[in-house]
A and B are shown apart, each in its own frame.
Chain A
Amino acid sequence: MLDLLKSRLTHGYQAIANPLKADIHPAFPGMPILAKSADLYCLNDICPVHAFSEQGLDLGKCTFCGLCSREHPEMISFSNDFKIAADTRDKLIIAPGELELSKIDFRLPRRFHHSLALRNVSAGGCNACEMELSASNNVNFDISRYGVEIVASPRHADALILTGPITANMTEALTETWQAITDPKYLILCGTCAISGGLFAESAAIDRAFLKHWEACLYIPGCPAHPLSIIYAITTIMGIS
């Protein structure tokens, strides 16, 4: 008992006061800033997932590996802005010179503004996004202070948060889970693999047909998505500023 008290007292208070205004170490690769003069073709050659195109950098494909910024720091650099999320796939494409992503316009209906139940389906991810998702529930980040909880049964869920590129072996399980959630339901894609397939997009073992039928309402890029990004994204669609 005394051990417990000693441990608790020395540990101190760990919760981040306001996750929406927190600071991350500058080394964290958040929002990439493309210089206006950036040679997108050159950068695309270096990029392992070829995330660059004429429009700019597709954050949905970017794995934040930093190869481009280390080779050509003059063309691209990553700030430590963790507020990267979008409600449509197009908004994730960053044009040269853009300093932040377009605002998220989508808002959940009023009844979800103080209570959102998420059901996670891990569809072939490397486990990093899953660990970050459960970390957003821990004593530091504590997403549940906003009324968001991760539930065990899809029958209790309001939204399905997908991590992983959707392997062919998981398609049926994913579809069943989605069908088991009662209306109204929403789809959230967490992590680069979920949004675009990431490094596995060309693998024969991946089957992303599910996303052709169902549209997501929220895209959270990152490899893995940082808990602060997850919290920012979800609280934004819940209407919490």
Chain B
Amino acid sequence: MSIGILLLILTIIPALWKRSGYFVILWVLGSAFLAFEYMEVLYSRSLQEFIITMSPPVGIVNIALNKLSAFFGVIFSLGLPLGMFYGHYYLKEHPTKDLCSHLFWLGLMGISMHCVLWIRHSLVFLMFWELMSLSSFFCVLNSKKENIQAGLNYLITMQIGAAFLIAGFVLTYLSSGTFDFSGFEDMNPIPMYLILIGFAFKAGVFPFASWLAQAHPVAPSHVSGIMSSMLIKTGFYGILLITSLNRFSLREIAAMTLIFCVSAFWAVSHLLFERNLKRALAFSSVENVGIAGMGLCAGLLGIHAHMPAMALLGFTGVFLHLFFHSIFKAHLFYTSGNIFLATASLDIDEMGALAKRMPYTALMALAGIMAISALPMTNGFISEFTIFKAVFETPDAALITYILPSLLILICLAFIGALGMIAFLRIYAILFLGAPRSSLSKSAKEQKLGNRLPVFFLTLAILITGIFPNIALRFVKPLLRWFDLDMQQFALLQSLSLKITYVYLIIILLSALLLVIRRLCIKEKIGSTWACAYPKVNPRMQSSSLTYIQPLAYFLKPITYKKCTHVKAQSAFPTNIEYHEEHPDALWDFIVKPATKVITRFFALFNRIHNGKTNSYIAWGLAFLVFALIWVVGFK
């Protein structure tokens, strides 16, 4: 571990000299060492432990890895170097204003993500947590004005989350007397809720998830990918940490179920209408965190109701989904980065026919889209399937109090899965199929090998973990054992996965056979698409992003908030017809913005104090001194 961390810290040197190549190489090496350490911790019984003693009030700082940290650590150590690698090639084509500071903060973000996993001391944990937020803020920042606004929104939201965490940690210290994480065992409800809310901010759970949709579109693609696939997981790591050290009551589990379900639903209802590619992926991250949360709640229900199968499957679902989501979300963000480099736009209504111009990207994106839609042969299917299976394990004789939450999970998962698939089908079809909708997509070209390589590795990962789920299950096994779950059920799950693998292999073989036969036997002739024999088909004669979703939008009207401008045909001979619609975040428009206005107006009342004149500041300072004197002398 020390070698790994040392190498990662050394990456600051090439960063400062703008040598992003060496930066990446050092990151890969360092992460390799770290990955090795994490795997050792995961599979063996050894526990890496360091104790650093510092002066009070910090006290004894425990630096240790448990299986949970190791699990996330492996994900980070595999994903971060890939992100850095992609970032190297991305920044070549689309350079940021100040490369050395960007690389510096990027490296710092990665280091702090790793450190957060080891620290077992609340205050030091908070320090690295804040460092993570701050460095990610600087990574997100771009030079444009609107992007600074979005970045600041992100930073402020993270600070509010951190405030909840601070409150929670302080209350825990007051009640347990120690800063160590062992004080989190069997906490009182109030500090626990505060800490969970604090972590929920980071993880992206409704109603604290609006920052995701604002930060991701403006950040450079490698940063978005790292953030969505790994930064968010630190929040979930925190939630899982609390879960591993506490028992939840049924009411709490039901509340968590409701929150996660609503969160996923909220995210999907925005995802369906989104026209900005990265914003859509950001909402999808919130949706997937919601799905992981649903799995977690299923697992907790299982533990509470003494249903070992449900418990095991639920927790397996969570861990698998977190792992797989890292893979396919990074894949999709890097793909969107490549598309952005090729077309200079993120508006899906300006794309079209990219499959002909970027064939490799289109093929790999298909794997990513299938994974995020939880279609078979991909890993997304396996994790959602496991969560479904967990819910199906609710026995018939169970109490209504157990059935209701699991029913909620079932309904929401089914509905959200379908809507998610519709949403991503729409995105894939508009991006890659049809005819180019604008000159931007007409002139798109396939990106360089360096840009495509990370996407290729992630595609392989999607397919391998999708077709051979046992590989991922073996990765998750030690963690489940650490959670004291029923390993017999796990063995059943493994045998089921084996059967699934066999089915897939048969399908693949048959398809390959059919393809070969078709190649040999059938003569293909390529003609133009049949368009009712109209000779001059123009690119406007194909579906827009609204066409795919408008019929469904009719049913979702009660829960959608949209702003539209509609210029109808004024007479029998219209000259202009226009329609534009937008789906802003209702939470942001109706709660955050008015609240901000109120707060700003409240603070504006103090403008008279902050009037910039040194004389009045001295006067205020003097007044405070006098008051303090009177207080101390008079009343003490």
Binding site for B on A (CB under 8 A): 153-155, 172-174, 176-177, 179-180, 182-183
Contacts and interface: CB of A to CB of B under 8 A. Distances in A.
A179 B535 contact: no
Contacts of A177: 533
A180 B525 contact: no
Interface-central residue, B525, B528, B530, by most chain A CB under 10 Å = B530
Contacts of B527: 179-180
Interface string B504-525: 0000000000000000000001
Q: How large is the interface on B (under 10, 10 to 19, 20 to 34, 35 or more residues)?
A: under 10
B536 to A, nearest CB: 10
A182 B525 contact: yes
Interface string B524-555: 01011010011100000000000000000000
Given A173-B534, A176-B533, A180-B528, 17 more contacts: A153-B530, A154-B530, A155-B530, A172-B533, A172-B535, A173-B533, A173-B535, A174-B533, A176-B528, A176-B535, A177-B533, A179-B527, A180-B527, A180-B530, A180-B533, A182-B525, A183-B525
Contacts of B533: 172-174, 176-177, 180
A155 B422 CA distance: 28
| B contacts with A: majority SS | loop
Contacts of B535: 172-173, 176
A104 B530 CA distance: 33
A5 to B, nearest CB: 36
A180 B534 CA distance: 12
A147 B562 CA distance: 52
Interface-central residue, B525, B527, B533, B535, by most chain A CB under 10 Å = B533
Nearest to A183: B525
Interface of B: 525, 527-528, 530, 533-535
A174 B534 CA distance: 10
20 contacts: A153-B530, A154-B530, A155-B530, A172-B533, A172-B535, A173-B533, A173-B534, A173-B535, A174-B533, A176-B528, A176-B533, A176-B535, A177-B533, A179-B527, A180-B527, A180-B528, A180-B530, A180-B533, A182-B525, A183-B525
A173 B532 CA distance: 8
Nearest to B535: A172
A38 B535 CA distance: 50
A176 B530 CA distance: 9
Contacts of B534: 173
Contacts of A176: 528, 533, 535
A176 B533 CA distance: 6
A153 B527 CA distance: 14
Contacts of B528: 176, 180
Contacts of A153: 530
A115 to B, nearest CB: 20
A164 B121 CA distance: 88
Contacts of A155: 530
A183 B522 CA distance: 12
Nearest to B532: A173
A182 B528 CA distance: 12
